[in-house]
Structure 1
Amino acid sequence: MRTLPIILLLLGFGLPALSQDPHFSQFFASPLTLNPAYTGKFNGQLRVAGNYRDQWPAISKAFVTSTISLDAPVMSGKLPDFDTWGVGGMAMSDRTANGILNSNYFALSTAYHKSLDENGLHQLGVGFQGVYTSKRLDGSELNFENELALDGTWTNPSGEAVDGSRISVSYLDFNAGVLYSGSSNGDDNFYIGASVYHLNRPKENFTNGNYTLQPRVSVHGGGYLPVGQATTLHLSGLHSRQAGANETVVGGAVAYNLIDDFERPTQFYAGAWYRFSDSFIPYVGFEFADIRLGVTYDVNTSALKTASMRRGGIEVSLIYIKKPSTGGKDIPCPKF
């Protein structure tokens, strides 16, 4: 199954019109890859988020993406009431075609969230992010059609610029976003945000030409609403566009509080999302103490379902939020 990952590599990264960013089905659990304005937007003193995705596992390591981020509010007590200034950092690794293309990203983010009312129930945040990107292409692992000899071996010279070479590129990148978050009574939450990645349109050069990385524009929103004494409905959606490629994901989950503790609930989540023209995404999650674990599995429904055997990809998210030692009513923040 080596040929298909190589084809995907060439389509995804060799042509500027088709190049796309790594992405997560659990976009709601990867805050700093979705919108820099999420930096510091949570109830707590520190947030650590980790994500792992193995896309199309039927095809050996076609796309394996992992990320870890850390963010926190700063200058607490020195800002106007209910305002928050957040800072954070993120590292992400994306391995394509069994490691033939390795991409690494290191980001620093900051965001300011301004309270729009005296109770802090409505807030508007603006965030910015700087990224250092490093990519390495191992051309010695690539096979091209014109290398195939009559005896079935790969011996002929291909004449391709990347053949037999290990090529590295690096550049700086800049992203920005806005986020509105509100609540009608302090128990629910609704939000909408927008982000633009690759504002400066950096250029990549693996051969003899410069390919411009097109901006990724995303609009996302959602919220949660208590629907019973121990049950909460969470909904979220995302629409992204990059280089003519579109992604639309919508869905939700129901959270059930397993114990009679509403300050630090232990909750079980079950739900599903749907990526239009691509996959159905069942989700289960578990939240206890300061940790939330989520697992999804993409069930491929597109024309690729025959090659992928309907196995779109497994994904795991883990979020740790350090809560303050003192109690008190939290301001509702986006969760899904």
Structure 2
Amino acid sequence: MKKLLTTVIACVALTFVSHAQDPNFSQFFASPLTMNPALTGKFDGVFRVAGNYRNQWPSINNAYITGTASVDMGILKNRIPEGDQFGIGIMGFTDRAGNGALTSNYGALSVAYHKSLDENSFHQLGAGFQGTYMNKRLNSSKIVFQDQLTPFGFTGVSSETFAGQQLNLNYFDLNAGVFYNGSTNGYNNFYLGASMYHINRPKETFQQGGNFTLATRTTIQAGGKIPIGSYNFIHLAANHSMQAKAHNTIVGGSFSLNVNNDEENPTNVYLGSWYRFGDAVIPYMGLEFGEWHFGASYDVNTSQLKTASNARGGIEISLIYIKKYVDPNMRKLNCPKF
């Protein structure tokens, strides 16, 4: 299909730069079920609810608005070995591009099993799978094609033709991942994971006779938690994704300050920054209290697109709720802390 031109010239440049990558979050560590299917159920508690919202390049007529919500939990705790975790989860995902010209909605079901590798459960290895039902809708009234560009503006007639059903696509997608995390003493933590999306290479095209196959996306993530003193930590995290010829690498970290000096029920303030290579610096701040963890970040655009975007990258917020165990004697899992 020919490259689409939006009615705003700046959005044309943004479309070229995106290289047809999947939507992604700067706070990748706060969106576990989009980061890696193997993170399903990978937390210490009864259940986890996570939500994320991102508005990228808001100065360019709502170029990209992305949101997701998920719920996951551990099951069969009395039927599997102590220290293991069997997780299930569901996720909803929506993405609007070009001020609503292209709307994508996903619904996903995830399962994962995490196997303890030692008697203290300091080390675990997990694998997960995710089945996704996708729906994509194209609003042709909000787009202008390349062959419509004339010396007098976007007034030409396009040769592109669509059937009604081709403006609404539905297909099944399959994702999978593996994840290892460990600790040397129960206080520090480190992890390494890898995941692959669009394993079944679904067909995705709105053009009559088109035969575009969605490229697989591979991601690698790594990070750790390093104690500083009795209650504070440095958190490091990196994520690299590859899809077709597009690469996206983001690295950074944050410092968590325990303001109430309570190890069991801490109130932590997070300050840090991430960097997306060739694109943006991402200041981050977060607050954790009780069963809640709130995060906010802002992409400061550093690429050549900063002229069109007025150096305004995108605001992103995340919210995670983890229901804690009522029984204080419940054995805690050694899970990565983001």
Q: TM-score, normalised by structure 1?
A: 0.93
- C-alpha separation in 1, matches of 2:138 and 2:83: 47
Aligned to 1:203: 203
Contact 2:108–2:130 (Cα < 8 Å) also in 1? yes
Q: In structure 2, what is the Cα distance between the partners aligned to 1:94 and 1:5?
A: 19
Question: Does the 8 A contact of 1:140 with 1:165 survive in 2?
Answer: no
Instruction: Tell me the secondary structure at the aligned position of residue 158 of structure 2.
Output: coil
Secondary structure of 1:120's counterpart equals: coil
Tell me how far 1:9 sits from its aligned partner. Answer: 7.7
Give the CA deviation at 1:142.
1.5
How many residues matched?
A: 331
Report what 2:102 is aligned to: 101
- Aligned partner of 1:186 in structure 2 is 186
Residue 304 (structure 1) shift: 0.8
What do the CA deviations read for 1:273-321 (whole angstroms, capped 9, x no partner)? Answer: 0011111000000001100000000001111111111111100000000
Query: Letter of the aligned partner of 1:303 in structure 2?
Result: Q
CA apart distance, 1:198 = 0.5
Residue of structure 2 equivalent to 1:334: 336
- Provide the rounded CA distance (Å) in 1 between the counterparts of 2:310 and 2:73: 41
**Same amino acid, percent of matched pairs:** 52
Residue correspondence of structure 1 range 152-171 to structure 2 within 5 A: 156-162=156-162, 167-171=167-171
Q: State whether structure 2 residue 12 is matched by structure 1 residue 7.
A: yes
Q: Does 1:279 align with 2:280?
A: yes
- Counterpart for residue 326 of structure 2: 325
Q: Contact 1:197/1:215 (CA < 8 Å) preserved in 2?
A: yes
TM-aligned CA deviation for residue 4 of structure 1: 3.6
Give per-residue Cα distances to partners, 1:77-122, cap 9 Å, x unaligned.
Answer: 2111101000000000000000010000000000000000011110
Superposed structure 1 runs of 4+ greater than 3 Å apart:
8-13, 144-150, 152-156, 162-166
- Contact map agreement 2:14 2:305 (CA 8 A) in 1: no
Q: Is the 8 A contact 1:47 1:321 kept in 2?
A: yes
Distance (whole Å) between structure 2 residues aligned to residue 25 and residue 4 of structure 1:
25
What is the rounded CA distance, in whole Å, between the counterparts of 2:163 and 2:142 in structure 1?
A: 8
Matched AA of 1:25:
S
Most deviating of 321-330 and 294-303: 321-330
CA separation of 1:141/1:129 partners in 2, compared to 1, >3 Å: closer, same or farther? same
Q: Distance in 2 between matches of 1:21 and 1:88?
A: 21
Aligned residue for 1:289? 290
Q: How far apart in 1 are the matches of 2:337 and 2:159?
A: 51
Once the two structures are TM-superposed, the CA of residue 60 in structure 1 deviates from its matched residue by: 1.0
Q: CA RMSD in A?
A: 2.1
Unaligned runs of 5+ in 2: 1-5
For residues 199-243 of structure 1, give each alpha carbon's deviation from its aligned partner in whole angstroms, at most 9, with x where no partner exists: 001110200202111111011010101111231110010111001
1:7-156 equivalences under 5 Å are 7=12, 11=16, 18-144=19-145, 146-147=147-148, 156=156
Q: How far 1:330 sits from its partner (Å)?
A: 2.6
- The question of whether the paired residues in 1 share the 8 Å contact of 2:121 and 2:334 is answered with no
Q: Which amino acid aligns with 1:167?
A: L
Amino acid at match of 1:106: G
Q: 1:12 to 1:303 in 2, by over 3 A?
A: closer
User: What residue number does 2:301 align with?
Assistant: 300
What's the counterpart of residue 176 of structure 1?
176
**Structure 1 residue matching 2:333: 3-state secondary structure:** coil
The structural deviation recorded for 1:5 is 6.3
Q: List runs of 5+ in structure 1 lacking aligned partners.
A: none
Q: What letter is aligned with 2:204? A: E
| Contact 1:140 1:166 (C-alpha < 8 Å) held by counterparts | no
Find the aligned partners of 1:125 and 1:273 in 2 and give their Cα distance.
26
TM-score (norm 2): 0.93
The secondary structure found in structure 1 opposite 2:144 is: coil
Q: Does the 8 Å contact 2:231/2:262 carry over to 1?
A: no
Q: Is the 8 A contact 2:39 2:112 kept in 1?
A: yes
Distance 1:94 1:164 in 2: 21
Counterpart Cα distance in 1 of 2:284 and 2:150: 47
Q: Distance in 2 between matches of 1:144 and 1:205?
A: 15
How far residue 140 of structure 1 moved from its aligned partner, in angstroms, is: 1.6
Structure 1 residue 260, shift from structure 2 partner: 2.8
CA distance in 1, matches of 2:174, 2:63: 27
Partner of 2:3: none
